Chains A and B, each alone.
Chain A
Amino acid sequence: MNILQVYLTLAAVLFSLGIFAVITRRNAIAVLMGIELILNAANLNFIAFARFGGMNFSGHIFALFVIVLAAAEAAVALAIIINLYQNFQSINVDEAQQLKQ
């Protein structure tokens, strides 16, 4: 398929679903999954413009850096979530309201 708009629309769908997960999910890990969806949507846009918009390999490099940052972000976020679980015995984001217990 050689139409830029198809890829952009698919990325928009992934982005919207990611936002929906971030807004409505209670479980912190599910929120993290939504963030991964958003990052994938951004990556898809970068690669689409690399092919159709004349960004060439700069787009590929950008996507690579996004993947690296996503890996780092997931590791730190999961460490925080495990800490949250040790302190509250629950990882629902709306139950973690206290800074200190």
Chain B
Amino acid sequence: MTNIVFWFFVIMTITAALMVVLSKNLIYAAIALLVTFLGVAAMYVFLWADFIAGTQVMIYIGGILILLLFGIMLTHKITSVRISHTNVQRGVGALIVAAIFVGLVWMINFTPWLKVTTQEPLQTVHSIGTLLMTDFLLPFEVASVLLLGALIGAAVLARKET
């Protein structure tokens, strides 16, 4: 049963990612991106990372995807022009990507990965919170400054010049 659910999510993720890359309609691509994010969140659940899965759903789907949709709405005349776009140089791009993919798969299958057997953690949020406040305190604080900078920078950039 778990296997069926797992492979369902894998196939769903790959199909949606293909739609993101190939769809002619930009809105369809954004909706397919939503499905991709959901599939990756399901993978996180299979990997015992429930907190990261929740964060993925909240920030990627609730934040970044909405931002992307806003971007599409603001940069296209929705009523007059079809929201479509094309790919350029598909042949060369597909060749390069196929080479990268084959190399990656070869590397994945022929590397002797270090296998460590770990127990399923009882609570993830507790451990993540403790680590954030001890070992990773400086990056945590720097991230807050970076978010503030990005917020102000984005507001200044997007404002119409008067």
Contact = CB atoms under 8 A, between A and B. Distances in A.
Q: State the main secondary structure of chain A at its contact with B.
A: helix
B105 interface: yes
Interface residues of B, number: 82
Interface of A: 1, 4-10, 12-21, 23-27, 29-30, 32-34, 36-37, 40, 43-44, 47-48, 50-54, 56-58, 60-61, 63-65, 67-76, 78-83, 85-86, 91-92, 94
Interface in B84-137: 85-90, 92-94, 96-98, 100-101, 104-105, 108-109, 113-116, 118, 121, 124, 127-128, 131-132, 135-136
B49 A60 contact: yes
A63 B85 contact: no
B104 A15 contact: yes
Contacts of A94: 88
B80 interface: no
B93 A23 contact: yes
A70 B49 contact: no
Contacts of B51: 60
A57 B131 contact: yes
Contacts of A5: 108-109, 113
Given A44-B40, A51-B118, A72-B150, A64 B18 contact: no
